[in-house]
Amino acid sequence: MNSATATIADWRIYPVNSLPVALQRQPDGVEVTWSDARVSLFHHLWLRDNCPCPACVYPVTREQMFEIVDAPDDLSALDAQLDGSGCLAVQWSDGHASLYHPGWLRAHAYDEQSRAEREQQASRPLLWRAEMNQQLAHFDYQEVMTRDDVLLQWLRALRDTGLTQIRNAPTANGSLDGLARRVAFIRESSFGVMFEVQSKVDADSNAYTAFNLPLHTDLPTRELQPGVQFLYCLRNDAEGGDSRFVDGFAVAEELRRLAPDSFDLLTRTPVEFRNKSARNDYRCKAPIIALNEDGSYREIRIANFLRGPFDAPTEVMPALYKAYRLFIQLTREPHLQLNRRLQAGEAWVFDNRRVLHARDAFDPASGERHFQGCYLDRDEWLSRLYVLERQA
Amino acid sequence: MNSATATIADWRIYPVNSLPVALQRQPDGVEVTWSDARVSLFHHLWLRDNCPCPACVYPVTREQMFEIVDAPDDLSALDAQLDGSGCLAVQWSDGHASLYHPGWLRAHAYDEQSRAEREQQASRPLLWRAEMNQQLAHFDYQEVMTRDDVLLQWLRALRDTGLTQIRNAPTANGSLDGLARRVAFIRESSFGVMFEVQSKVDADSNAYTAFNLPLHTDLPTRELQPGVQFLYCLRNDAEGGDSRFVDGFAVAEELRRLAPDSFDLLTRTPVEFRNKSARNDYRCKAPIIALNEDGSYREIRIANFLRGPFDAPTEVMPALYKAYRLFIQLTREPHLQLNRRLQAGEAWVFDNRRVLHARDAFDPASGERHFQGCYLDRDEWLSRLYVLERQA
């Protein structure tokens, strides 16, 4: 069943789980009936657009050379046949010929059933509450560094729950660099490629003080919040400074249940976040709770200490404060929180666009506390995950 | 008039162009009447939230320590007064006292008139067509590198028209690095911090071939397309390879005029872009024309050679191909295009989320062609622009 030999203009693998068994010519396309009785119409323009032959797609890059705008307006199929391996062969009215792999074709079919199936198979976040204190996904540093299957497990945990811990890691200065680059290159910010989370006299962020930091996402002041944050503990001998996490999607879900109007307002109202210093002036206006078009959670954006003044119509302002205060109260609810003290050689790795993190105040005079941090963008760790899945 | 002495929890400067002249206490706030007769209500919670005193805002970072969730539910103002310099002084029912600078207060007033005024004063893109061939904003390398006022002019041109050229630049390998870092740090991608635009045998992108590249934005396969692209010419002795640009917003505007239904479909239909190689697998699904909530243009996302198969309901597919082919046809219209041949020592710097660029095919055997490129994100060059404006 996997003997189909048409070119695939992709690096992913497309297994053949269902074969085309019949073709029906339509005025504007070819209708395929599959072995499981599904029926998919493929329009002529769609098929011509996706011809994988070496004249249409440059084989070295697997990127398209052909442009569908150059097809004639009256393009039609002179002939369409299934070959012995289940590939679809089309002869075009402009003289071109195309051959489509059945696994690829099925994976990209756009009939209602195929689209619904893809939608259903997409990964979804697993929301968590305080029980995460017992269920935290943790991974061994050496295993992550040396085994691709463990790396894949880790990245899937990050995708699904958004909060993971690495243990038994070296405590040499800069060890974080190797761990992060095991996944992808690091996203630089105005705070550097790697940042030192230490109390500084000339702090340009409250993160670089010994104060309590309330639950927040990092860099909500940038259009694209960093996707993953690493917080790597080299030394933690000071009193205080414990870590706190909360699943921002679970907080939003609680708000939706308790006060749907407040939830709705926070999904619709742009809030400006400001990261300002003598040398920088970042401003980003976006809602605190961002939803996808289907109503699922896209991201949470919040840091009280980086928030600019609310700017909303006068009549909306009281409701906005009600909603905001309710949201922040919920982030403080013990039944939603995970609390841990990080030890030297442990690192938090979490989805910064979903999981809020906080640090209790600490006493810099009581001992040394030295964390290093860095960011990777979501595109990068997802790309790594997808490539690992090709081999898995 | 500028003698107001209240703290401002910001690094921007807020000139006093209108003074508060009267206060009216309301049940839920303080109503300010300004010297130009504008009336602004400030709710108690909003005012308390924005108290700039050193207990509420850490003076070193100018970031908030106080959280409005900690204000009592029944918070009210015991007293509100204007001082001699036009500052608003409020005594709170919980014992706290606040003082607000009139320039800051006016800049953040959220009455209908103030909000409309801010909306109107926001910068807007200046759309261009082929006449840009005569009107191209160009800047001298040495002036940009040494004069802050020229740097600010350049960044403003980039913001307004999205297409600029730097001339008289050094042609030593790596000179681009200094030019880019005059603005901000460089955004790394899977193609590196700086990329070499040369024909390569083992190309992982059609950009690294000698082929014609149709008009496109770079990295539409990433959630956040790079904000600014630098294309720096070190040598251009090969036949062919001329540059072409088109204002994507002008193309969209033309489409809106000619075929409103097609325009609408391209703003609503997510299209998947794929950057796939043996080592990477980036996927991003987003509309080709993205609008802001007010209908203004947000960004254009297009690269035919990085587009995945369209995935839309069967009944929508014919209209989607009509819209897509029309859009691409318009990008090819001479009356919308700028065409130039870059000389050694010249660099294009353009808004990659708006301005589409293309390269004609060239003959690598006819002479050397060596361009270097890099990206900066929009957050970075806007921050640089805002900081320069504080001093201007």
Mean pLDDT of B28-48: 98
In total, chain B counts a number of residues equal to: 392
Q: Looking at residue B211, what is its pLDDT? A: 80
Would you call B284 and A329 a contact, using CB atoms and an 8 Å cutoff? no
Tell me the pairing of strands A362-363 and A239-240.
Answer: antiparallel
Which residues of chain A lie closer than 8 angstroms to B270, CB-CB? 293
DSSP state letter for B2:
-
Residue B78 has φ and ψ, to the nearest 5°, of -80, -30
At B311, the amino acid letter reads D
Long-range CB pairs of B24-29 (<8 Å, 24+ gap) are: B25/B77, B25/B80, B28/A318
Which residues of chain A lie closer than 8 angstroms to B387, CB-CB? 279-281
pLDDT range class, residue A293, cuts 50, 70, 90: confident
Which residues of chain A lie closer than 8 angstroms to B115, CB-CB? 311, 313
Residues 6+ apart with CB under 8 A from B70: none
Please, how many CA atoms are within 13 Å of residue A79, restricted to the half-sphere of its CB? 9
Among candidates A45, A110, A211 on the partner chain, residue whose Cβ is nearest the Cβ of B312:
A110
Among candidates B46, B304, B378 on the partner chain, residue whose Cβ is nearest the Cβ of A317:
B46
Asked if B86 contacts B4 with a C-beta cutoff of 8 angstroms, the reply is: yes
Q: Is B311 on the interface with A (CB under 8 A)?
A: yes
pLDDT range class, residue A301, cuts 50, 70, 90: very high
Would you call A318 and B28 a contact, using CB atoms and an 8 Å cutoff? yes
Would you call B321 and A60 a contact, using CB atoms and an 8 Å cutoff? no
d(CA A135, nearest CA chain B) in Å: 30
Q: Is A310 on the interface with B (CB under 8 A)?
A: yes
> ipTM, 2 decimals?
0.95
- Residue B189's CB is within 10 A of a number of other CB atoms, namely 22
Show the DSSP H helices in A31-174 as ranges. Answer: 44-49, 102-107, 112-121, 132-135, 141-146, 148-160
Among candidates A68, A111, A318 on the partner chain, residue whose Cβ is nearest the Cβ of B314:
A111
Mean pLDDT of A332-343: 95
Instruction: Find residues 329-388 of chain B whose CB sits inside 8 Å of chain A.
Output: 329, 332, 377-380, 382-383, 386-387
What whole-number distance in Å separates Cα of residue B137 and Cα of residue A197? 43
Q: What is the pTM of this model?
A: 0.95
Residue A131 burial (C-beta neighbours within 10 Å; 0-12, 13-18, 19+): exposed
Q: Looking at residue B107, what is its pLDDT? A: 97
d(CA B20, nearest CA chain A) in Å: 18
C-alpha dihedral, B292 to B297 to B299 to B302, nearest 10°? 120
What whole-number distance in Å separates Cα of residue B250 and Cα of residue B246? 8
DSSP state letter for A143:
H
Segment A17-59, tens digit of pLDDT: 999 999 999 999 999 999 999 999 999 999 999 999 999 999 9
Segment A61-96, tens digit of pLDDT: 899 999 999 999 999 999 999 999 999 999 999 999
Q: Looking at residue A1, what is its pLDDT? A: 43
Mean pLDDT of B213-222: 96
Element (H, E) at B385: helix B378-391
Q: Is A316 on the interface with B (CB under 8 A)?
A: no
Average pLDDT, chain B: 95
Which residues of chain A lie closer than 8 angstroms to B10, CB-CB? 274, 276
Angle at B202 between CA B197 and CA B206, to 5 degrees: 50
Segment A128-144, tens digit of pLDDT: 999 999 999 999 999 99
Asked whether residue B33 carries a pLDDT value surpassing 60, the answer given is yes
Mutate which of A8, A276, A315, A353 to disrupt the B interface (most B C-beta within 10 Å)? A276
Of all residues in chain A, the one with the smallest CA distance to B29 is A318
Q: Where in B27-125 does DSSP place strands (E)?
A: 29-34, 39-43, 57-58, 63-64, 77-82, 88-92, 97-100
Q: Looking at residue A27, what is its pLDDT? A: 94
Q: Looking at residue A3, what is its pLDDT? A: 64
Which residues of chain B lie closer than 8 angstroms to A64, CB-CB? 304-305, 307
| Least confidently predicted of B57-61, B96-100, B335-339, B345-349 | B57-61
- Residue B242's CB is within 10 A of a number of other CB atoms, namely 14
Q: Is A14 on the interface with B (CB under 8 A)?
A: no
Residue A106 has φ and ψ, to the nearest 5°, of -65, -40
Show the DSSP H helices in B229-316 as ranges. Answer: 248-258, 260-268
pLDDT range class, residue B343, cuts 50, 70, 90: very high
- Residue A5's CB is within 10 A of a number of other CB atoms, namely 11
Element (H, E) at B132: helix B132-135
Q: Looking at residue B1, what is its pLDDT? A: 43
Q: Is A3 on the interface with B (CB under 8 A)?
A: no
Average pLDDT, chain A: 95
What whole-number distance in Å separates Cα of residue A341 and Cα of residue B127? 54
Mean pLDDT of B324-333: 98
Q: Is B276 on the interface with A (CB under 8 A)?
A: yes
| Least confidently predicted of A129-143, B59-73, B188-202 | B188-202
Angle at A313 between CA A310 and CA A315, to 5 degrees: 110
pLDDT range class, residue B122, cuts 50, 70, 90: very high
